[in-house]
Amino acid sequence: MAINIIVSGKSILETDAEAVYVGFFQTDEKDLKELKEFAKNVSKCIPSQVIAKVKELIAAKKFEGKKKQIYPVYLSDKKLVVAVGLGKKEEYNSYVFRQVVSCVSKNARDRKVKSYAFFLDNNWVRMNFEATAQAFGESTLLSLYKFDKLKTKDKNGNGSGNGILQTAELLIEDKKNIDPGKKAILVAQQIAECINHARDLINLPPNIATPKYIANEAKELVKKYKLKFTVLGRKEIEKNNLNLIKAVSSGSNEEAQFVILEYNGSNKAPICLVGKGITYDSGGLNLKPYVGSSASMRNMKSDMAGAASMIAVIEIAARLRLSAHIIALMPLCENMPDGKSYRCDDVIKAYNGINVEITNTDAEGRLVLADALAYAQKYKPACLIDAATLTGAASVAVGYMGACVMGSKEIVEKLKFASKDTDERIWELPLWEEYAELLDSKIGDLKNSNESSGPGTIMGGIFLKNFVEKTPWAHIDIAATATTEKDVHYTESGATGFGIRLLVEFVKKYR
């Protein structure tokens, strides 16, 4: 059972939750202005003993309200209130809120309580109330996710810490917000469930999550929702001249699958979403090296995160019945070394007729995306967005704190708007004309990579730009954000599901 989230107008003393978390802005011993003001505002909901104890903690320098600082305040054997730091008031925003909620849910799980409550003061609602409640739901459910599908023992029980934690309660100060809060939590539950499912797909090993397995997962959705599903296998890929997809998959025993999943919630021209779906990337004949103590082939199962994300976007759109027309295109295949593999020096004619000279078989993601982006033109899309774990250089550019984005101004700007509302951060990189010559091929039209080091992430974008014609388009490089080695904010190590909320928000807002 996943965690149940309830919304109520109860006070701290009224709730049955075993632990109640209350946020405090950063303050110090001399200047208790924030605390006094807070105490005045919430006197009906928070017992004065709590405020008095927090004052003591501040005086003893045990708790200052620093961002994500946590300190228990025992009122009795049965009543545990936990003070949570919200950081400096002037630096507080929705991103801080999500991080604090994440920290609270993990703390409750680790305390092994059955239920906990989170007190939501009006002062912390920086977005509109629904958005704040939704952020609470999303952050809670995404933070408690753990991948335990392949464990035969020590199961985590859907994030509940061996099934102990069952309920999270959102205590709302303003009673008129209870109904909107309930609605927002329902939306958050739908979104988080689909994201966590995508995380499962990304975390599953490549011997299980093969192209056919993922194609089948997409097909499963058709039974539940009104969706259109098409899959092109090896023969159809060949017949349709999707030669780049064919080339990348040629060294693998796993048959490539080009999946097209359509959600038709409006009769407008579709938004086409293309997700990179390399279910395992060994690098191909340019086998990934073993550098120092780390094998760069490790974790290459997650090279299909783009495709998994697009399946989730379609499922969320279907569950929330969004008024949108979305077509997700997912080229799924493995990149393996073999006698039948494509080689460096090969020149391959892409779906749109461009002759691509292969200079590195490990730059395979852009090849399958290129064919998929060109193929998407047949749907006459209003716009095109691709998401891909494309370049290691993305982490050099902005680290794991955000994704790199590039493309048409209008789409990039709309993505930036969606990014603000979802706190999934993106940073724009340029696609200046002069970059194009770095991919000039002497014997074909275009090289798939530039052998000398340079702006690696931009090169990926520049390459793809050749396949989108005049359609407004953006490319999101999620290589640094799709997975994480350690717990960061509201994610656990492994797949993060980054980009899904961003794209759902983009689709919702798209006009």
Interface with Zn ion by CB under 5 A: which residues? 281, 362, 364
| Smallest distance, Zn ion to C-beta of residue 347, A | 19
CA nearest 390: which of 271, 310, 476, 312?
A: 476
- Other CB atoms closer than 10 Å to residue 199's CB: what's the count? 29
Task: Please count the CA atoms within 13 angstroms of the CA of 108 that sit on its side-chain side.
Answer: 37
Min dist CB 288 to Zn ion, Å, is 7
Q: Which residues pair with 202 in a beta bridge?
A: none
Residues 134 and 130: their CA atoms lie apart, in Å, by 6
Question: Could you confirm whether 288 is annotated as catalytic?
Answer: yes
Minimum CB distance to Zn ion, residue 364 (Å): 5
Of 286, 435, 452, which Cα lies nearest the Cα of 367? 286
Which CB atom, from 362 or from 424, has the smaller least distance to Zn ion?
Answer: 362
CB–CB of 401/487 below 8 Å? no
Q: Which is nearer to Zn ion, 150 or 291 (CB)?
A: 291
Identify which of residues 51 and 363 has a Cβ nearer to Zn ion in the complex.
363
- The rounded distance, in Å, linking the Cα atoms of 211 and 258 is 9
Q: CB 394 → Zn ion: shortest distance, Å?
A: 13
Between 137 and 331, whose beta carbon lies closer to Zn ion?
A: 331
Distance CA 50, CA 218 (A): 50
- Return the residue nearest Zn ion (CB atom): 362
Q: How far is the CB of 403 from Zn ion (least distance, A)?
A: 18
Query: Please, which residue, 364 or 492, has the CB nearer to Zn ion?
Result: 364
Minimum Å gap between C-beta 296 and Zn ion is: 10
Minimum distance of Zn ion from residue 335's CB (angstroms): 6
Of 53, 98, 366, 414, which is the active-site residue?
Answer: 366
Q: Angle at CA 212, nearest 5°, toward 230 and 305?
A: 90
Nearest Cα neighbor of 351 from 467, 258, 473 is 467
Q: How far is the CB of 283 from Zn ion (least distance, A)?
A: 6
Please name every residue paired with 170 in a beta bridge, in sequence order, or none if there are none.
7, 118
* Minimum gap (Å) between residue 327 Cβ and Zn ion: 25
Our CB check for Zn ion shows the closer of 325 and 447 to be 447
Compute the distance between CA of residue 460 and CA of residue 405 in angstroms, rounded to an integer.
11
281/334 with CB nearer Zn ion: 281
- Among 312, 303, 257, 249, CA closest to 276: 303
Specify the residue for token string 């490790």.
Answer: 298
Residue pair 214/261 in contact (Cβ under 8 Å)? The answer is no
Nearest residue to 304 via CA among 400, 369, 397, 393 = 369
Neighbours of 50 (CB within 10 A): 22
Residue 305 near residue 483 (C-beta atoms within 8 A): yes
> Of 121 and 364, which CB lies nearer to Zn ion in the complex structure?
364
Residue whose entry in the numeric block shows the structure tokens 């390399």 = 278
Residue 211 Cα to chain centre, angstroms: 21
Residue at token pair 């690696």 = 456
Q: Treating both helix axes as pointing N-terminal to C-terminal, what angle do 178-203 and 500-509 enclose, rounded to 10 degrees?
A: 130
Residue 294 structure tokens: 């780390």
Chain-centroid distance of CA 265 in Å reads: 23
Of 288, 319, 425, 508, the catalytic one is 288
Is there a catalytic annotation at residue 366?
A: yes
Task: Name the nearest CA neighbour of 135 among 87, 89, 185, 180.
Answer: 185
**Catalytically annotated residues:** 288, 366
